[in-house]
A and B are shown apart, each in its own frame.
Chain A
Amino acid sequence: MVWVSLTAIFIVMHVIPGDPIRAMLGPKATEEMVAMMRHQLGLDKPLIAQYFDYLWNLLHGDLGTSITTRRPVSFEIALRFPTTLQLTIGGIIVAAILGIYSGIISALHENKLADHAARIYAFFVYSLPVFWLGLMFQIFFGKVLGILPIYGQLDPFIDRPRFITGMVVVDSLLAADLPAFFNSLEHMILPWLTVGLLLSASISRITRTNMIEALGEDYVVGARAKGTPENVVTYKHALRNALLPVVTLIGLQFALMLGGALLTEYVYSLPGMGSLLISAIYERDFPMTQGIIVIFSLLVGLVSLCVDITYAFLDPRIKY
C-alpha cells in the first residue's frame, strides 16, 4: 500500500509533462545549464533506472540533496519534523476534547436547543477555510486583543531549550525551563486551535451519532437496572462504546489534518515540514519537494496502521 503511494508520487513527479528543471533555473538558463542540472539530478537516465534509484535511495533513507541549501533533504526534514509533530498532536488533542465533549452534549440533549446549536456550530466550522481561520485568530487575538503571540514558536529573546525531542513545548517542560515552557504554550494555543477546530467538527458529529446509538442499547438499560447512577451510565458504559469509531475517524481524517497543518504552519510562520514544502516550491527545489511529499505519504500510512492497531486493542471483540 505504501509502496503504491510512493510509486504514485514518482509517477506524478517524473512522468507528468512539464519541465521543473527549466522552471527551477529560470528563463535565462541555457541549454547546457539545463542539461547539466538534469544530469546532476539523474533525470536524464531512462525512467526505469530513475525509478529503481528512487526506491533504492528511499530504502536507505536518502531523499536526495536540496538544491537550495545543499544539505541532505532528510536532514532538513528531520529538523522540521518535530514542529509539525507538535502541531499535529496538539491539534488532535484539541479536536478530541472539543469534538467529543460537544458530541456528548448533543447526544444527551438530542433534538433540543443545545443539540441544534452544537450541530449548526459543527457544520459552520466544517465549512471554514483553515487558513482564513488562522488569519482571523491572528487579527482578533493578536491585533485586536493583543493577548496572544501570532508568529513562531517562541519569543526571540527566549532561548530554545536543549534538544531532546525537538518539540519546543515538550523539551522546555522536560528541561524544567518554565519561562520557555509557558512562552511556547502561548505561541501554540492559536495554531492548535486552528488545526483542531476543523477536525473537531467531524469528531463532534460522529460522537453524537454513536452516543445516541449507544444510549439506546440494551446494556444501558441493563446498567440502570443494576442501580447504576446516570452519569456513570453515560460516561462509562455508553461513551466507551461510542468512542471506538472516533479513533478510526481520526485515522481517516489524518490526511485532512496534515493539509490543515501545512497551511497553519504557513500562516503562523512555524518552522515545520509544511512551511518547508511551501518554500521549497517557491524556490523550485525539486528534490526537497519530492522528499517532503514522500514523508507525508509515509506518515499517513503509518498513522493508518497505528489507528488500526489501536482499535483492535481497544475493542475486545476483535482478535488480532
Chain B
Amino acid sequence: MNKLFNEIGRKFKQSSKSDKLLVSAGLVLVLGMILLGLFASFVSPYGPYEMSQSRLSPPSTEHLFGTDYLGRDILSRMAYGTRISLLVAAVAASVSLILGASLGLFSGYFGGNMDRVIGLTMDALYSFPVIVLAIMMTIMLGPGVTSTAIGVGIALTPSYYRVTRSFVLSIKERGFIEGVRAIGAGDLHIMSRHILPNALPSLAVLASFNMAEGIISVAGLGFLGLGVPQPTPEWGADLKMGRDVLAYGAWWVSVFPGLMILAMVLGVNMLSEGVNSLFKLGVRRR
C-alpha cells in the first residue's frame, strides 16, 4: 500500500504543470462537494424543507442564495442536494462498473459466440443517449431515484465492458495467459489475479468520468420532472422549479442549482482528466 502511495506521489511530482493543476483543482472541488454533502446539516443555515414567509426573495444576508416559491432557503437545499446527486451517480457508476467489467472479462477471455452477442448488445447500448435510456426506465419503473440509477447504470455499462475487454485481448495477445495456465492456474484465478489488476487504474478513471455523466443525467432527469419526488432537494428538480418561476424574474432559483452541478461536474472532470494524463492511462471519455 505504501509503495502505491509513493508511486503516486512520485508520478505527481514529475508531471507537467497543467496536470498538477487539474488534479489539484479537481480534488479540491470534489472533496469540497463530498464534505458539503456529508456535513450538509452543519453547513446549512436552515433545513431543506423549512418553509418561511419570505417567498421568492432574492439573495440577501439571511438567505445567501435566496428562497424559492415556498420560502425554502436555496443554499440549504443546494447543500442537501449534494447527497442525492453523489449517491445516485456513485451507485450507478459502481454497479455498472462491476457489471461491465465482469462482462468484459468473460467476453474477452472466452471469446466465441458469446463474445459476439454480448459485444453487439453492448455496441447497441453504447450508441444510446444516456438520457433516453434513463427515461425509458422511468416509464417502466415509474419515475424516481431507482429508475434513474438503473437507467444510467445500464447506459454506462458498455464503456466498462469495452475497456476491460480490450485489456483482456491485449494480454491474450501477449501469450502470457498460456504461460500462467501451464503452471496450473485456473481461469477465474487468471482473470482476477492477472488481468483485472492491470485494468483497474483505467477502470477507476473511467468510473470517475462516468460519475460526471451520471451526475448530469440525474440532474437532467430531475429537470424533466422524472427524478426524485418533491420536495426532496435535488439540483435538477430545483432547476425545474427555477424554470417555472422564471416568469416572476426570480433568476436565483435557476442560477444556483446549475452552478452546483457545474462545480461538481467540473471538479470530477478535472480530477479524471488530470489522473488520466498523469498516469498516461489514455482512457477516452464517451
Interface of A toward B, CB cutoff 8 Å: 1, 4-5, 8-9, 12-13, 16-18, 20, 23, 116, 123-124, 126-129, 131-132, 135-136, 138-139, 143, 255-256, 258-259, 262-263, 266-267, 277-278, 281-282, 284, 286, 289, 293, 296-297, 300-301, 304
Given the interface pairs A18-B141, A259-B131, A300-B127, the reply to whether A266 lies near B136 with Cβ below 8 Å is: no
C-alpha gap A129/B220 in the complex (Å): 8
B262–A129 CB distance below 8 A: yes
B93 within 8 A of A: no
Least CB distance, A287 to chain B, in whole angstroms:
11
B140–A129 CB distance below 8 A: no
Given the interface pairs A129-B219, A131-B223, A139-B254, the reply to whether A263 lies near B131 with Cβ below 8 Å is: yes
The 3 A-B residue pairs with the shortest CB-CB distance, nearest first, are: A259-B129, A132-B258, A5-B124
B220–A296 CB distance below 8 A: no
Kindly identify which residue among A1, A138, A278, A304 contacts B224, using a CB–CB cutoff of 8 Å.
Answer: A278
Least CB distance, B17 to chain A, in whole angstroms:
10
Given the interface pairs A1-B123, A293-B132, the reply to whether A138 lies near B246 with Cβ below 8 Å is: yes
B82 within 8 A of A: no
Interface bits B89-128 vs A (CB < 8 Å: 1, else 0): 0000000000000000000000000000000110111111
C-alpha gap A256/B208 in the complex (Å): 18
Least CB distance, B161 to chain A, in whole angstroms:
14
Chain A residues with Cβ below 8 Å from B135 are: 277-278, 281, 289
Interface of B toward A, CB cutoff 8 Å: 18, 120-121, 123-133, 135-142, 212, 216, 219-220, 223-226, 239, 242-243, 246, 249, 251, 254-255, 257-258, 261-262, 265-266, 269-270, 273, 286
Given A4-B120, A127-B266, A127-B269: 15 more A-B contacts, CB < 8 Å: A17-B141, A18-B140, A131-B219, A132-B261, A135-B242, A139-B246, A139-B254, A259-B129, A259-B130, A266-B224, A277-B132, A277-B135, A278-B224, A300-B127, A300-B128
Sample 9 A-B pairs with CB under 8 A, ordered by A number. A1-B123, A4-B121, A18-B142, A20-B140, A126-B269, A129-B261, A132-B257, A255-B127, A278-B224
Chain B CB within 10 Å, residue with most, of A116, A123, A129, A138 = A129
C-alpha gap A255/B130 in the complex (Å): 8
CB within 8 Å: A-B pair count = 129
C-alpha gap A116/B18 in the complex (Å): 9
Kindly identify which residue among A12, A131, A281 contacts B220, using a CB–CB cutoff of 8 Å.
Answer: A131
Kindly identify which residue among A116, A127, A258 contacts B265, using a CB–CB cutoff of 8 Å.
Answer: A127
Q: Which residue of B lies closest to A301 (CB)?
A: B127
Tell me the interface secondary structure of chain B in the complex. Answer: helix
Given the interface pairs A143-B249, A259-B129, the reply to whether A293 lies near B136 with Cβ below 8 Å is: yes
Given the interface pairs A4-B120, A262-B131, A281-B226, the reply to whether A136 lies near B142 with Cβ below 8 Å is: no
B251–A297 CB distance below 8 A: no
A256–B226 CB distance below 8 A: no
A143–B239 CB distance below 8 A: no
Q: Which residue of B lies closest to A6 (CB)?
A: B124
Chain A residues with Cβ below 8 Å from B123 are: 1, 4
Least CB distance, B256 to chain A, in whole angstroms:
10
Kindly identify which residue among B136, B220, B254, B266 contacts A124, using a CB–CB cutoff of 8 Å.
Answer: B266
C-alpha gap A137/B134 in the complex (Å): 26
Chain A residues with Cβ below 8 Å from B124 are: 1, 4-5, 8, 297
Least CB distance, B27 to chain A, in whole angstroms:
15
